[in-house]
Amino acid sequence: QVQVVESGGDLVQAGKSLTLSCTVSGLAVDDYALGWFRQTPGTEPEGVSCIDWNGIKKYYIDSVKGRFTISRDNAKNAVYLHLENLKPEDTGIYYCAALEADAMTLCTVVSMGKGLGYWGQGTQVTVAS
């Protein structure tokens, strides 16, 4: 059975940094693009950052470029999101997802509501001003 588990969310002050971790079990992650989605109140999860199977291709939404960094360690079946210079608008539930596709497809086409890929339970990031 595939399991996707996120961790690392916290309450932090604006301008600080945070690292989120996601561990996947039950599948070979080197066949999958991995990514992070964010859900804010009243919205559905939006693709924030995704990375392809070998870590070469990466995608970021414009609002996080230069501040967030995605990375992966296939030997650990893990993907990470390092968030720097956090802003209150970065607040949300961050979900980890995996899909046999390229990074851009995962982040811009796939959504939780489409029933594609594998999704974690989410981890809460709250940025206080």
* Cα 116 to Cα 23: distance, rounded to the nearest angstrom: 18
User: What pLDDT sits at residue 110?
Assistant: 81
Q: Which two tokens stand for residue 89?
A: 């608008």
Q: What is the pLDDT of residue 113?
A: 75
| CA 61 – CA 118 distance, rounded (Å) | 21
8 Å CB contact between 21 and 6: yes
**Exposed/middle/buried for 82, CB within 10 Å: 0-12, 13-18, 19+?**
middle
Distance CA 34, CA 6 (A): 12
pLDDT at residue 51, rounded to an integer: 98
pLDDT in tens, the chain (129 residues): 999 999 999 999 999 999 999 999 999 899 999 999 999 988 899 999 999 999 999 999 999 999 999 999 999 999 999 999 999 999 999 999 999 999 999 999 887 777 889 999 999 999 999
- The string of DSSP codes covering 90-116 is G-EEEEEEEESS-HHHHHHT--GGGT-
